[in-house]
Amino acid sequence: MIHLIGTYSCKADAKGRVKLPVGLKRQLDPVAEEGFVLKRSVFQPCLELYPMTKWKEVMKEMAGLSRFVQKNNDFIRRFNAGVRVLEMDSAGRLLIPKDLAEFAGISRELVLSSSIDIIEIWDEAKYEEVIDASADDFAALAEEVMGGIND
């Protein structure tokens, strides 16, 4: 399992290609050959980049859902909406498809933020808004989520 570290500012070119920062590229090199999956985030206006090995784990979990339950079908359809397989090119770039960039409101300036074993891809302004908006509540959130870890 890969554990990614860091938050990186970068730019997309006119075609939507993003050159991965060196620090992030080094972390992704061990899994880059298998490729990646890019999808819409469920909870935030951003994109999620999954190494293929992680994506296969998620799909294995989803495969356990009964397709004879309507809400499962609805969830699977929406979770997979717009999903794309991506490969890093020889220059260390990823191409963000236009429809996914539009979903996340991604323009030229963006942020790649590690989230354990995936990368969130944000429009820079939206990322700063989300981080600033939750700054006051972070201590309470940390206590609620992690405080009982030893109970």
Q: pLDDT band for position 133 (50/70/90)?
A: confident
On the question of pLDDT at 149 being above 70, the answer is no
pLDDT band at 30 (very low <50, low <70, confident <90, very high): very high
Q: Which one has a higher pLDDT value, 20 or 132?
A: 20
Average pLDDT for the chain: 93
Q: Encoding tokens for residue 72?
A: 């499962």
Whole-model pTM: value is 0.91
The pLDDT of residue 13 is 95
What's the mean pLDDT in 6-35?
A: 95
Amino acid at 62: M
Domain 7-146 CATH assignment equals 3.40.50.300 = no
